[in-house]
Amino acid sequence: MNKQFHDLHAHVLLQQRRSFLNRAGTGLGAVALASMLKQEIVQAAPGTGQAGVLKELHHPQRVKRVVHLCMAGGPSHLETFDDKPKLREMHGQAMPESFTKGQQIAQLQGRELKCFAPQFEFKKFGESGQSICEQFSAIGSMADDICIIRSMHTDQINHDPAHALFNTGSSIAGRPSMGSWLLYGLGQETENLPGYVVMTSVGKGGQSQPIAARQWHSGFLPSRHQGVQFHASGDPVLYLNRPNGVSFDQQKQLVQTVNGLNKQFDNVVDDPEIATRIQQYEMAFRMQTSVPELMDLSGETKETFENYGTQGGDGTYASNCLLARRLLEKGVRFVQLYHRAWDHHGSIKRSIEITAREVDQATAAFLKDLKQRGLLEDTLVLYGGEFGRTPMAQGSGRDHHIKGYSMLVAGGGVQGGTSYGNTDELGYAAVENPVHARDIHATLLQQFGIDHKKLTYKFQGLDFRLTGVEEARVLKEILT
């Protein structure tokens, strides 16, 4: 960065080293300290740097970054990636009770259940000939790079707990999200940006589902691992901008003074937290430049804007996709986009048309862009919602549905042009190779080189892990 900061930083490092030596004492003491440090690793005591707790990986690492394109609201699998000719045939007829008896139902409780045909045609895309709804032809153009999972299922039939389950593995609040687990395990690579960034967008095709900040919270893990939300308007990161009437240089000097005073006080009290505090002020100051730089799209080409279908800066999903690529380029480990427009209880045909326009082109452009820049091979891309929608009609729409839905996976180590699992002939339940969020979690960690059973954190007496206590499976079949 700038020289003054370099000097300050060097001074702090020197100071730390000196303190370290003072604290370490004799050779034998150093051994004891090492064992103490080891204990800290196991217990994840508050650390200072950006490193994660894992000293070595359990498997070879296939990906360095992950992006989760969360289609919030519960996208219908039947109008996106899971065509059901039999359901078309049975349109308007009663849904066979053998499917629905004793199953959970949300808003259709106590109503007559009738089959509702997929509202669009499906086409074959790519050399692989993957079957995808015609409304998503741009995503279709990337069919050979995508694995479609058609056998997702979940336990939670309402939005909030279902998102919690997908993000944290549990519908109980207070558990860390998958991004936080990754940072906890592996640390972050970025020095000027958070390691876990979240952005949201709204659409015109459905009610905007509320998304709680809990969805990207670190739960019981140290809160430095929580996701940081970037905003399209106002301060891109909360409290990032300096106060009115304060210039860049003044703010810089202020931070330097604070750190200088902190350092002097450390000389008196010898408190390791102070060195950390100094680092945090430096990082905060760097973010005041690096975040606006990141959000500034003036360096992007006209072609890029056209590909994504946005001019940027407007908070749309397309604009967020473009920002996501920039974040991934900078080494941000986990990027999560929420498009809050998929809750289509009524008028699903029209709603899908609208939402497809918001999502299809941008998602495809994003994938292509990652591929062209060579990022796709070590980035894992997850695309999908918190649940699917019923094969039964809810007026002209569909209700929440948990027994079967679809999701896309692409990027590092994933076999493109393939599909995995299937729902039954009416698209009701995942019957072939069912996949649960925890299987996705296990797979995600695996791609990062982590055995999901070995990344744990002790809380309330238990060794918690992202995949929880139920059996979780790495989806080896979809990996290269």
> Does 340 help bind other proteins (rule: CB under 8 A)?
yes
> Does 330 help bind other proteins (rule: CB under 8 A)?
no
Structure tokens at 467: 């995949």
Contacts of 416 (CB under 8 A, 6+ apart): 128, 144, 145, 146, 147, 410
> Does 320 help bind other proteins (rule: CB under 8 A)?
no
What b/e sequence results for 294-323 when a residue is b if at least 16 CB atoms lie within 10 Å of its CB, and e otherwise? Answer: bbebeebeeebbebbbbebeebbbbbbbbb
* Maximum distance among all Cα pairs of the chain, rounded to whole angstroms: 82
**How far is Cα 385 from Cα 381, in angstroms, rounded to an integer?**
13
Binding segment toward other proteins, per CB under 8 A, in 6-14, 215-223, 371-379, 382-390: 215-223
User: H or E element: which one contains 408?
Assistant: strand 405-411
Compute how many other C-beta atoms are within 10 angstroms of the C-beta atom of residue 349.
15
Q: How far is the CB of 73 from other proteins (least distance, A)?
A: 11
> Does 480 help bind other proteins (rule: CB under 8 A)?
no
> Does 347 help bind other proteins (rule: CB under 8 A)?
no
> Does 313 help bind other proteins (rule: CB under 8 A)?
no
Identified binder of other proteins from the candidate list 55, 127, 269, 303, rule CB under 8 A: 269
Smaller CB separation from other proteins, 164 or 440: 164
Compute how many other C-beta atoms are within 10 angstroms of the C-beta atom of residue 387.
28
Size of the site for other proteins (CB under 8 A): 95
> Does 44 help bind other proteins (rule: CB under 8 A)?
no
Q: Which of residues 103-132 bind other proteins (CB under 8 A)?
A: 104-107, 109
Q: Which of residues 393-412 bind other proteins (CB under 8 A)?
A: 399-400
> Does 60 help bind other proteins (rule: CB under 8 A)?
no
Q: Long-range contact list for 247-251, CB < 8 A, 24+ apart?
A: 251/285, 251/288
Identified binder of other proteins from the candidate list 258, 295, 297, 431, rule CB under 8 A: 258
Strand-pair category, 65-72 with 334-340: parallel
Q: Which of residues 184-213 bind other proteins (CB under 8 A)?
A: 194, 200, 207-213
Q: How far is the CB of 321 from other proteins (least distance, A)?
A: 19
> Does 49 help bind other proteins (rule: CB under 8 A)?
no
Q: How far is the CB of 311 from other proteins (least distance, A)?
A: 20
> Does 50 help bind other proteins (rule: CB under 8 A)?
no
CB-based contact 130:420 (threshold 8 Å): no
Smaller CB separation from other proteins, 375 or 455: 455
> Does 51 help bind other proteins (rule: CB under 8 A)?
no
Per-residue contact track with other proteins, 15 to 34, x per CB under 8 A?
-------xxxx--xx-xxx-
> Does 41 help bind other proteins (rule: CB under 8 A)?
no
Smaller CB separation from other proteins, 160 or 378: 160
Tokens 């339940």 -> residue: 429
**How far is Cα 64 from Cα 180, in angstroms, rounded to an integer?**
15
CB-based contact 311:328 (threshold 8 Å): no
> Does 158 help bind other proteins (rule: CB under 8 A)?
yes
Distances (CA, A) of 89 to 84, 115, 120, 132: 9, 9, 14, 19
